[in-house]
Amino acid sequence: MAKRLPSHRLTFGLGLSLVLGLTSLDAGPARALEAVEFKFSGASEDLAEDLRAASLSQAAKVDGRTTAQDVLAAAQADYARMTGVLYAQGFYGGIVHVYIDGREAASVPPLAQLGDIKRVVISVDTGPQFNFGKAEVAPLPQGAELPSRFATGRAARSTVVKDAVSAGVGAWRAEGYAKTALAEQRITADHRASELDVAVKLRTGPKLSFNKLIFVGDSAVREERLQKIAGLPGGETFDPEVLETIATRLRRTGAFRSVAINEAEEIGPGNTLDLNARVVDAKPRRFGIGAEYSTQEGAAVSGYWMHRNLLGGAERLRLEAEVSGVTGETGGVDYSLSADFERPASFGTDTALVLGVLAEHLDEPDYISDQLSLSIGMRRILNEDLTGELAFEWRRSRIEDSLGQREYDLLSLPLKLTWDRRDNVLNTREGSFVEANLRPFYAQGSVRSGGRIALDGRYYKPLGAEGKTVAAARLQFGSLFGPDVGSAPPDYLFYSGGGGTVRGQDYEALGIDLPDGRRRGGRSFVGLSGELRVATGKKLSVVGFADAGYVGEEAFFDGSGTWHSGAGIGLRYDTGIGPIRLDVAAPTSGGGDGMHLYIGIGQAF
């Protein structure tokens, strides 16, 4: 039986669908469907590909669902599937045939007793493509725009009609008319003129304001804290973006496995609207471990334990420990212990209280440091991409270096801005990232006061039509102003070389050689890195990279310092939670010799 639209004017409604109720019978062991063939007339290459992709008969063959009843059900459903694809591209006079072993599938009763079906042939004659005659969605709020493709003379794709209606409804909802809906539609196909006339009327209802946020279900997070974190602007005009904002605020606490925000069905007193929220708690405790290795820096092992609802208000406590430099050639073993506490929505909806404690021992080539720091501050979400942090920090340090052993206290006011538009933090393929740090500090003891600036910028872009190659670039910049090299906190100075700066060069190989023969870090730093990541399979990638670093005695880069560089190749194996990284690099300028091996989890940057 052919399925086609009548060759005269007809009227039909949006969202028309064909539903087939099928009952599966036990037809014995499955036999392979030998072939599914397609015959197209009037279809472009792209349209033909869409038709093939929509076929349930083809999917059944690929999946091995080839009993007679499975094949018959798929074949009969393909009439609607093919017609839907044709409508989506503006073909409303198409003819569709589906044959099973030469018999029209539509003529076969769904529960017919059949033998094996070996051949399915799908024949589609597209007919002419229709254009829009009348194209109207009304009323619309002032300034609202419909898709440019929804216009007289343009191809009358059904998807464009749906987009135009959605745009009209969305425009009214953005003005506060939350219950805007389709009131009337008249869609008429003129087969003689190959035109589609569309006239849609919308019903806006009253302008609404937010009322209450009602949480449904049980959560270990207290109700008042849920409300504080969500921050529904009660009394303000309805805005659909607020729903996603509330969901985002709840999700980013990490306390919930899922969050769903829905509008109430009924309008409340005074043209108000409630929102319903359903949250499902995540497991409150979590832990993780990590490891890295390089031939010169040795092994590093880290681990953390985290509680995501410590006091019943979605507070997060993270305890972390790290040991590095094991079997390395970079001084000695470093270790650190830290505790970080974050309480969301402490100073307004988007501002969290942050507390931190850090105890650290660093055994570096040029100094040994023991330090304890305490901090209190706030973290504010400025927008979807931008986060700002401001803190007050006290630090006590004991240093042993070429100047001897000394102690000092630092009081600092660290400020950090983070712009993050990466698509995946552990394995970025596209986007950008910028982190800027400014730390003015007041010193008591054997060092002088000043300020430190650090900038880290990264950019990622997929190349080629399939995006199998990713180009990645990184710029680092650092400056220490106020104290000179001899009177600065040693760990505030800059070095270059090793896994975090220039692969292929020795760890912290580049610093400043003082006239008296002593060696210190510099007050200025520039780092450049580039990678080309080429996927060679579903999980494996090959990477080529080059790094360069600069260290100078001056506070701000002026070119009077020294550069060095390194380059190499690497492999990445994608684990789903981040790639396992293996890089081999060698120096290319500025001294150094030999090959260096780096192994870790996650991309180098």
Domain ranges in the chain are 35-125, 131-203, 209-281, 285-601
Percent of the chain with pLDDT strictly greater than 70: 95
Measure the CA–CA gap between 446 and 584, rounded to whole angstroms: 41
For residue 554, the number of C-alpha atoms closer than 13 Å in the C-beta half-sphere is 9
What digits encode the pLDDT tens for the residues 443-456?
999 899 999 999 99
Which H helix or E strand runs over 166? helix 158-174
Query: In this structure, what token pair is assigned to residue 391?
Result: 């803190």
Instruction: Please say if the pLDDT value at position 8 is more than 80.
Output: no
Measure the CA–CA gap between 120 and 58, rounded to whole angstroms: 9
Mean pLDDT is lowest, of 62-66, 127-131, 220-224, 268-272, for 62-66
**What value does the mean pLDDT of the chain take?**
91
- The distance from CA 103 to its chain's CA centroid, rounded to whole angstroms, is 49
Which H helix or E strand runs over 72? helix 68-88
∠ Cα 557 591 476 (to 5°): 35
Q: Residue 67: is it exposed, middle or buried by C-beta count within 10 angstroms (0-12/13-18/19+)?
A: buried
Does domain 285-601 sit in CATH 2.40.160.50?
A: yes
Confidence band of 18 (pLDDT split at 50, 70, 90) = very low
Q: Which fold has domain 209-281?
A: Ubiquitin-like (UB roll) (3.10.20)
- The distance from CA 241 to its chain's CA centroid, rounded to whole angstroms, is 19
Confidence band of 418 (pLDDT split at 50, 70, 90) = very high
Same fold flag, 209-281 and 285-601? no
CA dihedral sign of residues 255, 260, 265, 269: positive
Q: What is the pTM of this model?
A: 0.80
What digits encode the pLDDT tens for the residues 395-416?
999 999 877 888 999 999 999 9
Cβ atoms within 10 Å of 383's Cβ, excluding its own: 8
Closest CA to 165 of 143, 151, 146: 146
Measure the CA–CA gap between 89 and 556, rounded to whole angstroms: 60
Instruction: Please say if the pLDDT value at position 29 is more than 50.
Output: no
Cβ atoms within 10 Å of 327's Cβ, excluding its own: 10
What digits encode the pLDDT tens for the residues 440-487?
999 999 899 999 999 999 999 999 888 899 999 999 999 999 999 989
Confidence band of 32 (pLDDT split at 50, 70, 90) = low
Identify the pLDDT of residue 592. Answer: 85
Instruction: Please say if the pLDDT value at position 116 is more than 90.
Output: no
3-state secondary structure of 141: coil
Measure the CA–CA gap between 540 and 531, rounded to whole angstroms: 16
Residues 6 or more apart from 490 whose CB is under 8 A from it? 364, 366, 367, 369, 399, 401, 520, 521
Tell me: cis bond preceding 233? Omega within 30 of 0 counts. no
Mean pLDDT is lowest, of 57-71, 266-280, 381-395, 542-556, for 57-71
What digits encode the pLDDT tens for the residues 288-346?
999 999 888 889 999 999 999 999 999 999 999 999 989 888 778 999 999 999 999 99
In angstroms, the Cα distances linking 31 to 3, 61, 113, 157, 490 are 29, 10, 15, 39, 75
What digits encode the pLDDT tens for the residues 513-528?
888 778 899 999 999 9
Identify the pLDDT of residue 24. Answer: 35
Instruction: Please say if the pLDDT value at position 3 is more than 50.
Output: no
**27-36, 51-60, 588-597 — most confident range:** 51-60
What digits encode the pLDDT tens for the residues 533-563?
999 988 999 999 999 999 999 999 999 999 9
3-state secondary structure of 307: strand
Which spans in 19-65 are helix H? 45-54, 56-63
Which spans in 175-292 are helix H? 223-230, 240-251
What digits encode the pLDDT tens for the residues 364-374?
888 999 999 99
